[in-house]
Amino acid sequence: MRITFPHIGNAYIAVKAMLDPLGVDYVVPPKCNKRTLSLATKYSPEGVCIPFKLNLGNMIEAVELGADHILNVTGHGTCRMGYYFKVQEQILRDMGYDVTMMLTGLSEHKLRGFLNLLRSVSNNAPWTKIISSFAFGIAKMTALDDIEIMANNMRAIEKVKGTATPIYRKGLQAIDDAADYRSLKEVVKECGEKLSEIEIIPDYKPLKILVVGEIYVVLDPFANMDVELELGKLGVITNRSLYLSRWVKKGLFFNPLGIDQWRDVHKAAMPYLKRDIGGDGWETVGEKVISSGHYDGMVHLAPFTCMPEGTAQCIMPSTREDLPVLAIYCDEQTSKAGMLTRLEAFTDMILMKKTGCLSR
C-alpha cells in the first residue's frame, strides 16, 4: 500500500511531517507543473473547475510513481468539491489504474475523522504517536504561513527587488528538512532574521491589498500564477483572508466547540447575501464589506465556472461599502502576461485614486 495525496499550496510539507513518524510508505506527487496541467485537462470533464483538474493531475502523476491509495477530503454541501473523489476515482479506473480513495468528511467528522484517517494509513499505530505527529504537522503548517507572511511584507518594501524570495524558498526547504520542534523553531527564527535584515526603501508607504476567494486558488501559487509574489514585485503588501494553518486550526478545533471564526464576516455580508452559498462565496462578500477602509484594494481569485465565487462577484458591486475589486479567474487558459498587465493597471488605478497622481 503506497499512499499519495493531492497538492494544495505548500501543505505537502505539513502532510509529510504527519506521515513520516508513522512509517507510512507514501509518495509526494511532483509539484504542479505544465505536464500536470496538460494531463489534467486531457482527462477531466471540460467544464469542471481548476482545483479538480490539478488534483486529478497530481493523482495521475503520483499513480505513475506507484501510488495506489489516495488520501482525500470530501464533504457535503453545495460546492463541487465534496463530490470530486467520486468522479476522479471513476476517471482513474477508466484509465486503467486501480486506486482506492481514503476519505474523510471535513465538515461532518472534523478532527476525529482526520485522526482516524491517519490511524488507518499507519497500520493502527498507537493514538499517542498519531496525535504527536499530527501536532508536529500543524506546527510545520504554522511555520510555513509565518515565513510566508514575513516574505510578503518584505517583498513590497525591499530596496533590491527579488531579495526576499530566495530567502523564503530556502526557508521552505529548511522547514521541510526540520526533524523536531527545536530545529523548526530555529529555522523560522533564522529565516525571519534574514528577512528583517533586507535593506528597505526609506519612507515608502506601500499599498495594501487583500487577496480573497476560493481556498484552493488562493493557497496554490501554481493555480493563481504567484499572484502575491507579483503584487509584491509591484510594491504592494498583500494579506489573505485564508491561511491554511489558521483555517485548519479553527476549522478542526474551534468550530466543533461552537466558535465560528467567520461570524463577523458573515454578519457583514448579511445585508447583501443572507445565507451560506457553499464554498467561500459568503465569506468573500463579507470580507469586501469589512475590509473597506482598511485596505486599498482587493484581488478576488476564483476558478473559472466556480458557482459560489461567481455569485459573490455578481453581488459585490452592489455593496454600499466601497473597495476596488479586481476579479481574476484561474483556469488552464489563464496567461501570466495577461494577469500581470491587469495587476499593473489595477495597482496604478488604486494608487491614482489614493494620491491623485501616479508617482510613488
Residue 272 found at the interface with other proteins (CB under 8 A):
yes
- Tell me the DSSP string of 107-145: HHHHHHHHHHHHHHHTTS--HHHHHHHHHHHHHHHHHHH
* Among residues 217, 223, 273, 323, the one that binds other proteins under rule CB under 8 A: 273
Q: Would you call 284 helix, strand, or coil by DSSP?
A: helix
Q: Smaller CB distance to other proteins: residue 318 or 335?
A: 318
* Among residues 265, 315, 326, 351, the one that binds other proteins under rule CB under 8 A: 315
* Among residues 308, 325, 339, 347, the one that binds other proteins under rule CB under 8 A: 308
Stretch touching other proteins by CB under 8 A, among 85-93, 182-190, 206-214, 343-351: 85-93
Alpha-carbon span 10 to 66, nearest angstrom: 22
Residue 188 found at the interface with other proteins (CB under 8 A):
no
Residues 6+ apart with CB under 8 A from 83: 74
Query: Grid coordinates 488534483 are at which residue?
Result: 55
The number of beta carbons lying within 10 Å of the beta carbon of residue 223 is 27
Total of chain residues touching other proteins, rule CB under 8 A: 40
Q: How far is the CB of 225 from other proteins (least distance, A)?
A: 18
Q: How far is the CB of 213 from other proteins (least distance, A)?
A: 14
* Among residues 255, 304, 321, 334, the one that binds other proteins under rule CB under 8 A: 304
Alpha-carbon span 107 to 322, nearest angstrom: 33
Q: How many CA atoms lie within 13 A of 101 on its CB side?
A: 21
* Among residues 34, 47, 124, 358, the one that binds other proteins under rule CB under 8 A: 47
Alpha-carbon span 66 to 59, nearest angstrom: 11
* Among residues 211, 313, 328, 347, the one that binds other proteins under rule CB under 8 A: 313
C-alpha torsion sign, points 131, 82, 260, 245: positive
Residue 98 found at the interface with other proteins (CB under 8 A):
no
Q: How far is the CB of 292 from other proteins (least distance, A)?
A: 16
* Among residues 10, 41, 311, 347, the one that binds other proteins under rule CB under 8 A: 311
* Among residues 15, 19, 49, 92, the one that binds other proteins under rule CB under 8 A: 49
Residue 297: phi and psi, rounded to 5, are -170, 175
* Among residues 35, 42, 45, 65, the one that binds other proteins under rule CB under 8 A: 45
Residue 79 found at the interface with other proteins (CB under 8 A):
yes
Find how far residue 23's CA is from the centre of its chain. 27
Q: How far is the CB of 273 from other proteins (least distance, A)?
A: 5
Residue 21, burial from CB neighbour count under 10 angstroms (0-12, 13-18, 19+): middle
Contact (CB, 8 A) for 16 and 68: no
Residues 6+ apart with CB under 8 A from 223: 32, 50, 51, 54, 216, 217, 303, 330
* Among residues 34, 46, 356, 359, the one that binds other proteins under rule CB under 8 A: 46
Stretch touching other proteins by CB under 8 A, among 25-33, 158-166, 192-200, 306-314: 306-314
Q: How far is the CB of 341 from other proteins (least distance, A)?
A: 19
Q: How many CA atoms lie within 13 A of 259 on its CB side?
A: 9
Stretch touching other proteins by CB under 8 A, among 80-88, 129-137, 183-191, 349-357: 80-88
Q: How far is the CB of 15 from other proteins (least distance, A)?
A: 25
Beta strands in 282-348 (DSSP E): 297-303, 325-330
The number of beta carbons lying within 10 Å of the beta carbon of residue 93 is 11
Residue 354 found at the interface with other proteins (CB under 8 A):
no
Residue 50 found at the interface with other proteins (CB under 8 A):
no
- Interface positions with other proteins (CB under 8 A): 45-49, 52, 76-80, 82-83, 86-87, 90, 94, 272-279, 281, 304-308, 310-311, 313-315, 317-318, 327, 329
